[in-house]
Structure 1
Amino acid sequence: MLLHSSHGKNCTSDSPGYPDHIPQRGNRRQQSFFCDEDYRAYIELMAQWSKKYHVAIWSWCLIPNHVHLVAVSHTEEGLGRAIGEAHRRYTRRINFRENWRGHLWQERLASFPMDKQYLLAIARYVEMNPVAAKLVQDPGDYRWSSAHAHLVGQDDDLVQVLPLLDGS
């Protein structure tokens, strides 16, 4: 049984079938999303590469300077490959547009495996991030998270709601 811990693991060797919490901050805690099109592009890239590498996203939230995902890989290296490729392509897009070089994301990608005991608490934490950041008062009103999808029980462009609602 996997327990949520404060020590992450590198996303290149994950545990297939178990949910992972993947937080990723902007480099030096700086902004990573600058306009609505950036959020849309990130979601499209994450959906594309998650599908290719057989990763299901159960919960997500994009804040201007960081990302939270709760994801389940169905292959041993799927999580690292899907998120890594989406982040590389998103970084390339922003760097090209802004005429920047270097990293957009802080540190290496880490994930925190968890069991069912922690799953709903972490998903709630992920979807309450916009409230904690004072971006909205109600998490269902925030466009860049899976909260609305879970409230209405319907998949969005990135999340599959049934596994989380079902407790699978």
Structure 2
Amino acid sequence: MTLEPHQLYHIYNQGNRRQQIFFSREDYLSFLRLVRKYISPYCEILCYCLMPNHYHFIVQTDVNSLTPKQVGNITSTNLANGFRMLQSSYARLVNNKQNEFGSLFKQKTQAKLIDDNSNYLTEVFHYIHQNPVTSFW
């Protein structure tokens, strides 16, 4: 996830093979507690949507988002590492609850820059908020 400071990003991911990732109200709440722990300290969350098999965020980065974070032999950023920790911690909770193992999310979390010169911010903002209404879940 390559990011720049003081920019808006649409960040999203889904379950492997589009599998369900939230199974109960408590799962959504657990995920949001992890968001508060791993994501909120490193960016401003402008909006989000949690669906049964995927999630979306619009975030604004700052200098703290991009502070280098050493993770083993890999240098990451606070925000990229935050999403890694969010997904791995949440997957561990779900796997323990369901006696499963392995990855719950697709490997690559997507981060799309929201360019000032496009209508993408308005489009994605509406898309995220309408997703629960228009979805077949």
Q: What TM-score comes out, normalization by structure 1 length?
A: 0.68
Matched with 2:114 is 114
Greater fraction strand: 2
Where does the alignment leave 5 or more consecutive residues of structure 2 unmatched?
67-76
Matched with 2:98 is 98
Q: Quote the offset at 1:120 in angstroms.
A: 2.1
Q: What TM-score comes out, normalization by structure 2 length?
A: 0.83
Query: Distance in 1 between the 2:128 and 2:78 partners?
Result: 21
C-alpha contact (below 8 Å) 1:20/1:70 kept by paired residues = yes
CA-atom RMSD in angstroms: 1.4
Q: Quote the offset at 1:87 in angstroms.
A: 1.0
Q: Quote the offset at 1:22 in angstroms.
A: 1.2
Matched with 1:24 is 13
C-alpha contact (below 8 Å) 1:55/1:82 kept by paired residues = no
Q: Deviations over 1:58-117 (max 9, x none)?
A: 110001011011112213223312211111110110011111111100231121011233
Where does the alignment leave 5 or more consecutive residues of structure 1 unmatched?
1-10, 136-168
Q: Percent identity?
A: 29
- Tell me the amino acid that sits aligned with residue 129 of structure 1: N
| 1:14 and 2:16 aligned | no
- Tell me the amino acid that sits aligned with residue 39 of structure 2: S
Q: Quote the offset at 1:134 in angstroms.
A: 4.0
Q: Quote the offset at 1:45 in angstroms.
A: 0.5
Which of the residues 62, 77, 94 maps onto 2:50? 62
